[in-house]
Amino acid sequence: MSTSSGPAATIAISVHGPVGVLDLVVPIGATPVDVGRAYADQAGMTGIPLLQTALGEHLRADRAIAEMGVESGSVLIAATGVRRARASDDDGSGAQLVAETPQVAAVVLSLAAGAAALSGWYAALSGNAALRTVTVGVLMACALTAALPWGRHARQRTAAAPAFAAAAAFAAFFEPGDQLTGAVVAVGALAAALTAAITRAMVEDRDQVLTVWIVVGCLVFGVCAISPLMEWNDRVSWAVLLVLAMLGARFAPSLAIDVPDEALLDLDRLAVTAWSARDKTSSRRGRLVIPESAMHRLVSDATRTVTASCAAILLIALIATPLLLHTASIDLDRIGARCLAFFAGAAILLAARQYRHAAARRLLRAAGLACWAWLVAFEIGDLTTTWTTWCLVGVTTLGAISLAAAVATGRGWRSVWWSRKAEVAEGLSGALALAATVVASGLFRALWEMTS
């Protein structure tokens, strides 16, 4: 092998083989086949030997030796004969055949959680005691099985376990009557929070999804339990939950992404005055380099927290919006409930533009559209056939206009002008939603009746 003019472009290695030791200087792009051919030419061998490291690891023939960690001063072994694969290689190749599919597992378990909710709802409304007992038992068994944090796809299974527990609690404690719906939802939320807490206690590492289950479950339990205790109408709880979902879409990222100061500043070496900056300290205990693994872990934890929070917002919007529109039976309360559903959906949709994570952004958009879809469904249900036809035509026309405006603006939300307008629209929608909460909850009507 010829030596290159630059020392950085060559590698000096020692090759031990059947005829002795040879010192070679090879280019960094040389492959084990090139080195073996050079050794065979200088040693007078008829065949090209196989190259291995000093630990017996085989060097692949299709890669450069520099890419496989061979440096100047390394010792290689030139072996002849047939190479047999070791047991570790066979085990590694066998393990690679079974690929991890967390995305598929998450989709499957999400569908399973949805099926559990539908089964609990059907069993609760069926009126058959035997069917309800069997459904509750099956859902509890599924919750206990999924809560065990061991085995393959344990993270996805434990994330779905509280949903099974909530469905089982709803099927077990549901009783006909709008006045008891808040209490039943509170019990289901408490069951989900307890299941998540028990599972999180068995998990060695921190699980952000279970933490979100605990926080949201306790919050829903507190909001839904206060109405029966204070003898309020359940629509107060649904209005408050919808407002909290709207606020959560705005403030969830700031609460989830918590970067410690040590990851941003070296506090031990932060100069307070100009004189202290001139001092030469010999201590090396300050954090000068942030480990890459720590930053990856920080980003991964924050991503899971934000995504789980957006999924919780979607779930609350899907449940609280129809319950609020259904319980608002008086004309004044009905107007406030419809305004709250519209403005809360608009605020959530506008808040979704700030998310750069695709899954979280889609979940928030689904939550905002769910509020509007429930609003349209209840409005159509209250109209006659003629008005229903005209409303469908109007909604279709508005949808086409909105689609054309969205295509025209394109990615204009990222510009400064569009961002400023969207910020104003989001703030205005949030303020109007808070104002509509007073009317939707019945507080405005109660004060009006007291003073009239």
- Domain extent listing, the chain: 7-83
For residue 47, what pLDDT is reported? Answer: 76
Per-residue pLDDT, averaged over 118-136, amounts to 88
Round the average pLDDT of the chain to a whole number and report it.
Answer: 78
Helix (H, G, I), strand (E, B), or coil: what is residue 410?
Answer: coil
Q: Distance between CA atoms of 42 and 428, rounded to whole angstroms?
A: 83
Buried b (16+ CB within 10 A) or exposed e, 201-231: eeeeeebbbbbbbbbbbbbbbebbbebeeee
For residue 191, what pLDDT is reported? Answer: 92
CB atoms within 10 A of CB 373: 16
Q: Distance between CA atoms of 234 and 242, rounded to whole angstroms?
A: 13
DSSP 8-state class, residue 412: G
pTM of the predicted structure, to 2 decimals: 0.68
Q: Are 391 and 361 in contact (CB under 8 A)?
A: no
For residue 97, what pLDDT is reported? Answer: 38
Per-residue pLDDT, averaged over 180-205, amounts to 88
DSSP 8-state class, residue 58: B
The residues near 212 (Cβ < 8 Å, ≥ 6 apart) are 305, 308, 309, 312
Kindly indicate the confidence band of residue 201, based on its pLDDT and cuts at 50, 70 and 90: confident
Encoding tokens for residue 401? 């206009």
Q: From start to end of 102-242, where are the E strands? A: none
Kindly indicate the confidence band of residue 71, based on its pLDDT and cuts at 50, 70 and 90: confident
Nearest alpha-carbon partner for 299 in 249, 330, 257, 267: 257
The one-letter code for the residue type at 10 is T
Whether residue 278 is predicted with pLDDT greater than 60 in this model: the reply is no
CB atoms within 10 A of CB 38: 19
Q: Distance between CA atoms of 165 and 188, rounded to whole angstroms?
A: 7
Per-residue pLDDT, averaged over 404-415, amounts to 58
DSSP 8-state class, residue 47: S
Whether residue 346 is predicted with pLDDT greater than 50 in this model: the reply is yes
Buried b (16+ CB within 10 A) or exposed e, 328-339: beeeebbebbbb
Helix (H, G, I), strand (E, B), or coil: what is residue 203?
Answer: coil
Greater confidence (53 vs 241) lies with 241
pLDDT tens across 363-383, in order? Answer: 998 999 899 889 888 887 766
> Does domain 7-83 sit in CATH 3.90.110.10?
no
Encoding tokens for residue 122? 């059907």
Helix (H, G, I), strand (E, B), or coil: what is residue 403?
Answer: helix
Nearest alpha-carbon partner for 234 in 441, 448, 434, 450: 441
